[in-house]
Structure 1
Amino acid sequence: MYRKGSVVSADGTTIGFRQFGSGPGVVLLHGSMLAAQDFMKLAEALADDFTVTVPDRRGRGLSGAHGADYGIEREVEDLQALLKETGASRVFGLSSGALIGLRTARVTPAIEKLALYEPPLSIHDSVPVEWLPRYRRELADGKVAAALVSVLKGLEADRVFRTVPRFILVPPMNLALRFQRKAVGDNVPIPDLVPTMSADMQLVGQLADTIDDYATIDADVLLLGGSRSPAYFERSLEALTGVLPRSKRITIPKLDHSGPTDDGGPAEVAQSLRAFFA
């Protein structure tokens, strides 16, 4: 069971969170098309040793809207507010959440240990973006299932979606989303999460080719990836290994980009995090 709380970020936006366990503080940052609900198993696996704070990033659930001037600066401010509120010095981020953790660590000495799972740090256009215009058109037309398929095929994060034709994928996806339209407790319905990819891809574009910026990070960094993830995540991790002053790499067998989530392999990820954060 978790406790609920919130903090007000620098621009006045409320950032709500779920909190588990007791001990040294850890903040877990989810990626796009996700919310705090997707880190429940990971948080519970760490709760015996740590006070684990899992926010709904802005634009989702317990938190306020993205805002008119949304960008990486707002996300950094949100994480800084969470760190100040909780006293945490350890941060874990998945995907776009990893980008936020990375950027925040440059300017936030409070972060002593930073764990990153497959940040989509684009290096010379390594992260695919050709699918974005179609995705945004489909969202504008209210075709949420089609937009979700465009994301999954475009980012190549799942082998099934890479190979199966769109006309086969969209109808069952549409049916599945119909059963996910009502919120259950604090959880955010999946159709409400699909549009968050647009804002997160804004972060990817904003941080493209910024690899050299991270040479000044003082925190100890753990770089995590799954053996079944697309190659462009490996390229990001390799580049970070080359510039970060203190980093360690771990590749977790049989996991893909969803590894830390409830649908992936949170127990395996928690094992690496527990050792690193201790």
Structure 2
Amino acid sequence: MSSSVRSPDGTVIGFETLGDGPPMVLVHGTGADHTRWAAVRERLAERYRLHLVDRRGRGLSRDEAPAYDIGREGEDIAAVAEAAGGGVYLVAHSYGALCALEAVRKTDAVTRLVAYEPPRPKPGEHVIGPDARKRMRAAESPEQVLETFLREALRLSPADVEAMRGTPVWRARVAAAHTIVRELDVVEKMVFDERLGEIAIPVRLFAGTESPEYLRLAADAVAERVPGADVVPMLGQAHQAMDFDPDQFAGAVFGFSGA
């Protein structure tokens, strides 16, 4: 079942709902939409009523207001959490985890957060350099933008990218490619500061033991700032444990349920 809410700036945020139980809102990362949870959604829906968000600019979401800002993305997620009735377990991946960290400071509807590798550059370095972002802006096709992101930001091998190309969600990733550069621009300037200390709900970070170093360091940095937060490793996995080890991912999510 598909539903939508209107964010404070007028943008319509769409989401798909399934399952029974307490509410869980899932937020995807860059270059994706709500279908990125395909490998784990049925497992999670056995225990939770899922609300799988399409972040602004893609899929079920529409009428995006101008002047993009990550703070508006936080308002989007807060609006979905409030529509879900409160008491929400928020599970967010990558750039979506950055948006979720914004959201939990804007609403009391979220009571628990898993943030899987919210990205920022390693100090003094880039996630993806300005030359690559320039190439992405000049790319002749959305697929070129997506491939550059996967290889140079997520450090995936050509073989891994080809494997992804054959999955059902590839088309959705291509459709969302126009949002990649604006999100990378935000990531390059990301700072984890004292505002994270305002978060008063339980927070757990997931970090792949095989992820690029900058992602593991970023997870540690958030955990150091958020009171009581900790980091759980995705053993043998990198940035996409939900795809390549869905049992480990779902088990870790259930392990932080508070039940």
* Shared fold (TM-score, shorter chain, > 0.5): yes
Which 5+ residue runs of structure 1 have no aligned equivalent? none
> Equivalents in 2 of 1:66, 1:123: separation in Å?
31
Letter in 2 for 1:221: V
2:178 is matched with which residue?
195
Letter in 1 for 2:22: P
Letter in 2 for 1:143: S
> Equivalents in 2 of 1:68, 1:15: separation in Å?
15
2:256 is matched with which residue?
276
2:62 is matched with which residue?
64
* 8 Å Cα contact 1:16-1:55 kept in structure 2: yes
> Equivalents in 1 of 2:105, 2:180: separation in Å?
24
Which 5+ residue runs of structure 2 have no aligned equivalent? none
Give the 3-state SS of the residue equivalent to 1:124 in structure 2: coil
The CA deviation at 1:66 is: 4.1
> Equivalents in 2 of 1:200, 1:264: separation in Å?
24
User: Per-residue displacement from partner, 1:8-38 (whole Å, max 9, x unpaired)?
Assistant: 1112221111111111111000001111111
The CA deviation at 1:127 is: 4.3
Letter in 2 for 1:255: Q
* 8 Å Cα contact 1:123-1:211 kept in structure 2: no
User: Per-residue displacement from partner, 1:104-159 (whole Å, max 9, x unpaired)?
Assistant: 22232322211000100345344423121111111xxx23333233212321432x
The CA deviation at 1:87 is: 1.6
Number of paired residues?
255
* 8 Å Cα contact 1:37-1:187 kept in structure 2: no
> Equivalents in 1 of 2:16, 2:151: separation in Å?
31
Letter in 2 for 1:191: V
TM-score, normalised to structure 2's length?
0.88
Which of 15, 22, 25 lines up with 1:24 in the alignment? 22
> Equivalents in 2 of 1:37, 1:189: separation in Å?
8
Residues 44-55 of structure 1: pairs in structure 2 closer than 5 A: 44-55=42-53
> Equivalents in 1 of 2:18, 2:62: separation in Å?
22
1:210 is matched with which residue?
192
TM-score, normalised to structure 1's length?
0.82
The CA deviation at 1:102 is: 1.0
Per the alignment, do residues 28 and 127 of structure 1 end up closer, same or farther by CA in structure 2, a change over 3 Å counting? farther
RMSD of aligned residue pairs (Cα, Å): 2.7
